[in-house]
């Protein structure tokens, strides 16, 4: 989904590329509490990097350290090659869009946007030009003389964005940028934000707890838990190749089958799972000690459901439909296996008169050998 | 529309007797403060106003009645403007008025300089500490003002606490004269009125969104610039409200200048006292009181409008 040019170029795969923002072993303690724990991160020019995690995972603290509002307990931060670790916010080439927008209530939209430029003693005529350009870019040209309390939530969000972009920062930090908007507006604004980022070429670091937002916006996502980055990668890497149970579970929904390795070959593995009541065949090798407990994660949309038994013995199970949720574009089925395990299956409603699978019906579930992801922790 | 009227008529019939005469529960609640104001403000004010227009008399009470029966069927109202004219011919009163305003202005300024940082500190303190600090601000109210002013005498006098400590530390060799000087008077006034400034100031600052300061710093402001450009303009109404609460009563302040200030501390409150009790010139004293009130009305109205703006939340 990410449309920025940088995402296509994938500089993080190029070992020669120089990171634009480098976070080196950053730790931040608040008393006894480790908010950020030994995080290292490389962000490249023109990226939209999303820090994704539940509340309290340390993502906002990490963002605030990039902005200079918190000083790291240990570790260093480099932006464009310069050490920024102890530099106060007013001397950093970084701007932040606050979650609450933090618009100055006693100033008009125009004055809010011009504030940072005035602070830099930029000539009046240039300020006028740049503010005008920026306001028309966020489609607020007609609202220049209004005060923040006379604007809607979406308009305020755009003022905050304009105010943080007008100084042409090397790095723009966005704290839950779309959090206060309603769903329709949020989707619309996501694409606007990507377009704007593409046009201006500013590097974005976005903090969000909304995985859908992260998937849409990001060139890469860093999933955070307990102050650590547990996995960083493109949205599809994170979704299709989660490295741990936590990531698989956090991004989207997933069916997790606990089991033991019974065959461990370089090209394939076979897992015996009591929970599933059968075996799981995965068409790629994994690195795990023999007899180890592993988890096979299967996404609900990758499970096929039928009333007739499928061929083969692997990746097949049987259960009873316990619940159905009709969402319009797709339906969610909760299937109860003989072992008691509930499996979640989604099916797109491609036809308007699909042969209905009803409550309490017995169904067979199966999936491709390429579908499961095996995680060891 | 018609059904609405019908319903209204029905409910009127159902109401108890009192309400048929337009007395509602809501009306009663609103009536109480108005009654209070009428009894304890309007009536005394009218009495003072009446006295201010009468002549001095050697009697009890020491003024002549305003309304008199002359002859059989004639009622004469005699308004005597001499008292007011007298105020503006004798320099004493004009000077006392001007001096009072000067003292009140300076005291207000000092309250702002001392009280603003205190209110700011309380507003930015941790919530647990904040309540304790607020309590400490209010605490002096639990003792009588008079006692507290006397305590200052003990602190400021020639062999008082401050002089003794400074002498013991050998900072000075002979006591500094502080008591009965303008300095002592200002100390007393600022000390006594400081809570009246701090509390509204705190109420204003407490509502402040401190993230705005971070936003300002993010956009290139040093902390003190952020304070000047964001905090100060946003707390303007708090400063005005607090200032009015200090300025208005300080103009008429009587006790503190009398106890701490020297004999030269000529303030209008003291003049008023002397006229009433020493000279028994009630009509002139009343005129002084009325003029003082008229002087303060514009400030009070300004304060009201500031308050209204503050509660409306528009900045």
Q: What is the pLDDT of residue A6?
A: 44
The residue among A108, A91, A168 whose CA lies nearest residue A134 is A168
The number of beta carbons lying within 10 Å of the beta carbon of residue A288 is 16
**Which residues of chain B neighbour A163 with C-beta distances below 8 Å?**
219
Q: What is the pLDDT of residue B162?
A: 92
| Partner-chain contact B234 A88, CB within 8 Å | no
The better pLDDT of the pair B7, B112 is held by B112
Chain A residue with the nearest C-alpha to that of B213 = A102
| Partner-chain contact B221 A163, CB within 8 Å | no
| Average pLDDT of span B120-137 | 94
Give yes or no for a contact between A331 and A352, defined as CB atoms under 8 angstroms apart: no
| Average pLDDT of span A63-91 | 94
Strands A203-208 and A171-175: parallel
User: A12-52, pLDDT tens digit by residue?
Assistant: 888 878 899 999 999 999 999 999 999 999 999 989 999 99
Rounded to a whole number of angstroms, the distance from the CA of A366 to the nearest CA of chain B is: 53
User: A267-283, pLDDT tens digit by residue?
Assistant: 888 888 888 888 888 88
| Partner-chain contact B220 A69, CB within 8 Å | no
Tokens matching residue A361: 């019906």
Pick from B218, B229, B234: CB nearest A89? B218
Q: What is the pLDDT of residue A156?
A: 94
Query: What is the model's pTM?
Result: 0.80
Q: What is the pLDDT of residue A133?
A: 93
The H or E element containing residue B300 is helix B282-312
Q: What is the pLDDT of residue B1?
A: 46
Q: How confident is the model at residue A111 (pLDDT cuts 50, 70, 90)?
A: very high
Q: What is the pLDDT of residue A4?
A: 44
Q: What is the pLDDT of residue A8?
A: 54
**Which residues of chain A neighbour B218 with C-beta distances below 8 Å?**
67, 69, 89-90, 94-96, 164
Give strand pairing partners of A269.
Answer: A264, A282
Q: How confident is the model at residue A5 (pLDDT cuts 50, 70, 90)?
A: very low
| Average pLDDT of span B160-178 | 90
Chain B residue with the nearest C-alpha to that of A97 = B215
Cβ burial, residue A81 (10 Å; 0-12/13-18/19+) = exposed
Share of chain B above pLDDT 70, in %: 92
CA B131 to CA A182: how far, in whole Å?
Answer: 38
Q: What is the pLDDT of residue B312?
A: 67
**Which residues of chain B neighbour A106 with C-beta distances below 8 Å?**
233-234, 315
Q: What is the pLDDT of residue B73?
A: 82
| Partner-chain contact B219 A115, CB within 8 Å | yes
> In the predicted model, is pLDDT for residue B274 greater than 90?
no
User: B82-106, pLDDT tens digit by residue?
Assistant: 889 988 888 889 999 999 999 999 9
Average pLDDT, chain B: 87
Q: How confident is the model at residue B190 (pLDDT cuts 50, 70, 90)?
A: very high
Rounded to a whole number of angstroms, the distance from the CA of A249 to the nearest CA of chain B is: 34
| Average pLDDT of span A76-102 | 94
Tokens matching residue B151: 């305590």
User: A140-199, pLDDT tens digit by residue?
Assistant: 999 999 999 999 989 999 999 999 999 999 999 999 998 878 888 888 888 888 888 888
Which residue's entry shows tokens 């400490």? B136
> In the predicted model, is pLDDT for residue B205 greater than 90?
yes
The residue among A68, A66, A56, A67 whose CA lies nearest residue A30 is A56
Pick from B217, B314, B315: CB nearest A89? B217
Chain B residue with the nearest C-alpha to that of A89 = B218
Lowest mean pLDDT among A112-116, B72-76, B161-165, B280-284: B72-76
Q: What is the pLDDT of residue A3?
A: 44
Q: How confident is the model at residue B5 (pLDDT cuts 50, 70, 90)?
A: low
Q: What is the pLDDT of residue A16?
A: 79
> In the predicted model, is pLDDT for residue B314 greater than 80?
no
Distance of CA A69 to the CA centre of its chain: 23
Chain A residue with the nearest C-alpha to that of B230 = A104
Q: How confident is the model at residue B204 (pLDDT cuts 50, 70, 90)?
A: very high
Pick from A67, A102, A149: CB nearest B212? A102
ipTM of the complex: 0.82
Residue A83, φ and ψ in degrees, nearest 5: -75, 120
């Amino acid at each position: 989904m990410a449309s920025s040019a940088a995402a296509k170029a994938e500089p993080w795969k190029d070992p020669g590329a120089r990171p634009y923002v480098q976070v080196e072993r950053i730790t931040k303690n608040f008393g006894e509490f480790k908010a950020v724990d030994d995080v290292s991160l490389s962000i490249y020019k023109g990226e939209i990097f999303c820090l994704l995690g539940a509340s309290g995972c340390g993502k906002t603290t990490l963002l605030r350290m990039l902005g200079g509002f918190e000083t790291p307990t240990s570790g260093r931060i480099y932006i464009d090659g310069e050490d920024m670790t102890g530099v106060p916010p007013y001397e950093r080439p970084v701007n932040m869009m606050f979650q609450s927008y933090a618009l100055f209530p006693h100033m008009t939209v125009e004055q809010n946007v011009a504030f940072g430029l005035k602070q830099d003693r930029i000539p009046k005529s240039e300020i006028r030009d740049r503010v005008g350009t920026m306001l028309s870019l966020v489609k607020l040209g007609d609202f220049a003389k209004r005060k923040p309390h006379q604007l809607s939530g979406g308009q305020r969000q755009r003022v905050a964005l304009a105010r943080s972009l007008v100084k042409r920062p090397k790095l723009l930090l966005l704290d839950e940028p779309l959090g206060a908007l309603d769903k329709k507006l949020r989707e619309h604004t996501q694409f606007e934000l990507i377009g704007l980022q593409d046009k201006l070429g500013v590097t974005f670091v976005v903090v969000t707890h909304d995985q859908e937002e992260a998937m849409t916006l990001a060139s890469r996502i860093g999933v955070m838990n307990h102050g650590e980055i547990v996995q960083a990668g493109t949205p599809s890497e994170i979704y299709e190749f989660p490295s741990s149970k936590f990531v698989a579970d956090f991004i989207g929904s997933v069916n997790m089958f606990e089991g033991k390795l019974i065959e461990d070959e370089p090209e394939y593995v076979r897992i015996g799972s009591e929970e599933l009541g059968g075996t799981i065949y995965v068409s790629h090798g994994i690195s795990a000690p023999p007899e180890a407990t592993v988890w096979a994660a299967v996404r609900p949309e990758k499970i096929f459901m039928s009333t007739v038994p499928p061929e083969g013995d692997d990746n097949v199970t049987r259960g009873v439909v316990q619940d159905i949720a009709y969402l319009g574009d797709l339906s969610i089925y909760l299937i109860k296996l003989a072992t008691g395990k509930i499996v979640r299956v989604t099916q797109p409603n491609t036809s308007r008169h699909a042969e209905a699978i009803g409550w309490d019906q017995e169904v067979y579930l199966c999936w491709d050998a390429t579908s499961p992801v095996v995680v060891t922790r | 529309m018609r059904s609405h009227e019908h319903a209204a008529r029905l409910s009127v019939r159902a109401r108890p007797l009192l309400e048929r005469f337009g007395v509602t529960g809501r009306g009663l609640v609103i009536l109480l403060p108005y009654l209070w104001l009428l009894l304890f403000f309007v009536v005394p004010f009218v009495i003072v106003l009446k006295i201010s227009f009468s002549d001095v008399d050697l009697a009890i009470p020491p003024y002549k009645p305003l309304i008199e029966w002359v002859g059989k069927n004639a009622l004469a109202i005699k308004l005597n403007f001499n008292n007011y004219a007298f105020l503006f011919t004798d320099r004493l009163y004009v000077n006392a008025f001007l001096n009072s305003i000067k003292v009140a202005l300076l005291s207000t300024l000092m309250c702002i300089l001392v009280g603003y940082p205190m209110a700011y500190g309380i507003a930015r303190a941790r919530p647990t500490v904040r309540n304790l600090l607020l309590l400490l601000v209010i605490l002096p109210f639990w003792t009588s003002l008079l006692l507290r002013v006397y305590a200052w005498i003990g602190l400021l006098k020639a062999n008082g606490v401050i002089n003794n400590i400074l002498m013991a530390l050998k900072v000075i060799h002979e006591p500094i004269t502080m008591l009965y000087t303008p300095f002592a008077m200002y100390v007393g006034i600022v000390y006594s009125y400081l809570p009246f400034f701090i509390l509204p100031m705190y109420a204003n600052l407490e509502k402040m969104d401190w993230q705005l300061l971070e936003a300002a710093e993010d956009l290139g402001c040093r902390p003190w610039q952020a304070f000047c450009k964001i905090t100060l303009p946003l707390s303007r109404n708090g400063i005005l409200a607090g200032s009015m609460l200090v300025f208005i009563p300080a103009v008429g302040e009587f006790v503190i200048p009398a106890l701490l200030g020297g004999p030269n501390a000529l303030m209008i409150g003291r003049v008023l006292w002397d006229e009433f009790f020493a000279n028994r010139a009630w009509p002139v004293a009343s005129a002084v009181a009325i003029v003082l009130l008229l002087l303060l009305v514009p400030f009070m109205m300004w304060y009201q409008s500031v308050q209204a703006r503050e509660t409306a939340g528009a900045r």
